[in-house]
């Protein structure tokens, strides 16, 4: 099991006692099909919903672990509509996020009413209010493309400019800040390598975090990674990266052990020195996300995130290849997901013509 999944499984196991017994039963059932990272997100959705039920007086429970199946059976459509409005009024919840939170609940309620049984072989949940809901498809390619337009790196020129900004041009914005300048000079080669590798391969941030130094073959320009959603989650798959990615990695590998002293047992490719520590450890997913957001804001693309770097790569890659090669490179289960980049390339080509 890769590093992030192992960490999320540990955190998931620590959180489960906070929930009603039937949630733990649901999680145990789903572990065969879904990753611990996905199920951890589900529990956060459940937690928000259960706390809302208590606040609204829809359960007499004092804590969410005391919410009963009977409490769930008494919910009606008006209650659910009120909860959806509650999610909408929370500014941090986009439409996609709201739909995902409802989908998580639908999955739990479906399990309790259609799969799980009591000792007498009757469903645990006798009435499922969530079955009456119709959640929108989240994979509408045109809708997703319109949301991403202007929030990714639009073409190869902008991709090159962003990497160059991290590698050297960012210094002009922090030259009067000694502390920021110190950390930039120390980490810029590593940061450039991370961003360039994503833009040179389309890797997910979790796949980058999980990379060990032995997973990279710079000569063949191949990385061996644990693929999200793979049918063989314990087996690494090979993914190619470009010559640009190779050059950035070679520069980083030349200084990795010098700038980031570490224990002999530390095999992580990308390292960071935690505050107050003398030894470097595997760079975390959150640290990479924050790093990309920092550079994106300074570059003038504040909506650019580490995941949108993957979208940027995929759009550029799709312009030069077909949908099936793009599907394989990104590790999508079907071309339905990859169809997003057909829509994005239309937007990208339109933007290029307008610039001309």
The reply to whether 121 belongs to the active site is: no
- Rounded CA-CA distance 194/208 in Å is 8
For 294-311, write each residue's pLDDT tens digit.
999 999 999 899 988 988
How far, rounded to the nearest angstrom, does the alpha carbon of residue 9 sit from its chain's CA centroid? Answer: 16
In eight-state DSSP terms, residue 121 is S
The reply to whether 188 belongs to the active site is: no
**Which of 5, 15, 310, 311 does the annotation list as catalytic?**
310
**Which of 15, 98, 228, 301 does the annotation list as catalytic?**
228
Residue 279: Cβ within 10 Å count: 12
Residue 173, CA distances (Å) to 158, 180, 250, 292, 302 in order: 19, 10, 27, 16, 15
Residue 275, CA distances (Å) to 169, 272, 281 in order: 26, 9, 11
**Which of 184, 252, 317, 341 does the annotation list as catalytic?**
341
Q: Show pLDDT as tens, one digit a residue, over the chain (356 residues).
A: 567 778 888 899 999 999 999 999 999 999 887 888 889 999 999 999 999 999 999 999 999 999 999 999 999 999 999 999 998 887 666 777 888 889 899 999 999 999 998 888 889 999 999 988 764 444 455 555 556 666 788 788 889 999 999 999 998 888 889 998 999 999 999 999 999 999 998 888 989 999 999 999 999 999 998 877 665 666 788 989 999 999 999 999 999 999 999 998 999 999 999 988 889 999 999 999 999 999 999 999 998 999 889 888 877 777 666 666 766 777 766 555 556 655 555 555 455 435 43
The reply to whether 332 belongs to the active site is: yes
**Which of 98, 204, 246, 308 does the annotation list as catalytic?**
204
The reply to whether 110 belongs to the active site is: no
- Rounded CA-CA distance 71/51 in Å is 13
**Which of 110, 160, 307, 347 does the annotation list as catalytic?**
307
Residue 187, CA distances (Å) to 105, 283, 292 in order: 42, 12, 12
**pLDDT number for residue 32:** 80
Q: Which of 111, 115, 155, 109 is nearest to 129 (CA)?
A: 109
């Amino acid at each position: 099991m890769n590093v992030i999944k192992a960490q999320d499984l540990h955190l998931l196991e620590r959180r489960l006692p906070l929930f009603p017994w039937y949630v733990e039963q649901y999680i145990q059932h789903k572990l065969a099909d879904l990753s611990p990272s996905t199920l951890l997100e589900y529990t956060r959705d459940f937690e928000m919903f259960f706390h809302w039920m208590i606040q609204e007086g829809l359960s007499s429970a004092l804590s969410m672990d005391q919410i009963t199946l009977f409490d769930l059976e008494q919910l009606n459509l008006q209650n659910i509509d009120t909860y959806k409005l509650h999610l909408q009024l929370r500014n941090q919840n986009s439409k996609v996020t709201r739909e995902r939170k409802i989908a998580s609940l639908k999955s739990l309620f479906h399990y309790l009413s259609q799969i799980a049984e009591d000792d007498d072989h009757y469903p645990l949940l006798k009435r499922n209010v969530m079955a009456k809901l119709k959640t929108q498809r989240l994979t509408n390619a045109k809708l997703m493309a319109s949301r991403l337009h202007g929030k990714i790196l639009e073409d190869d020129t902008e991709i090159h400019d962003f990497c160059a900004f991290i590698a050297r041009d960012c210094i002009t914005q922090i030259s009067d800040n000694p502390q920021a300048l110190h950390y930039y000079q120390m980490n810029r080669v590593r940061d450039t390598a991370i961003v360039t590798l994503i833009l040179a391969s389309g890797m997910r941030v979790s796949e980058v975090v999980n990379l060990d130094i032995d997973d990279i073959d710079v000569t063949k320009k191949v990385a061996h990674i644990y693929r999200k959603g793979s049918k063989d989650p314990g087996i690494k798959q090979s993914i190619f990266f470009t010559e640009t990615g190779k050059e950035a990695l070679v520069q980083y590998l030349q200084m990795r052990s010098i700038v980031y002293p570490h224990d002999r047992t530390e095999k992580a490719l990308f390292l960071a020195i935690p505050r107050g520590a003398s030894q470097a450890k595997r760079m975390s997913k959150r640290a990479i996300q924050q790093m990309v957001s920092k550079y994106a804001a300074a570059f003038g693309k504040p909506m650019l995130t580490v995941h949108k770097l993957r979208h940027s790569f995929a759009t550029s890659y799709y312009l030069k290849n077909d949908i099936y090669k793009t599907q394989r490179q990104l590790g999508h289960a079907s071309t339905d997901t990859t169809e997003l980049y057909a829509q994005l390339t239309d937007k990208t080509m339109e933007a290029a013509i307008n610039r001309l």
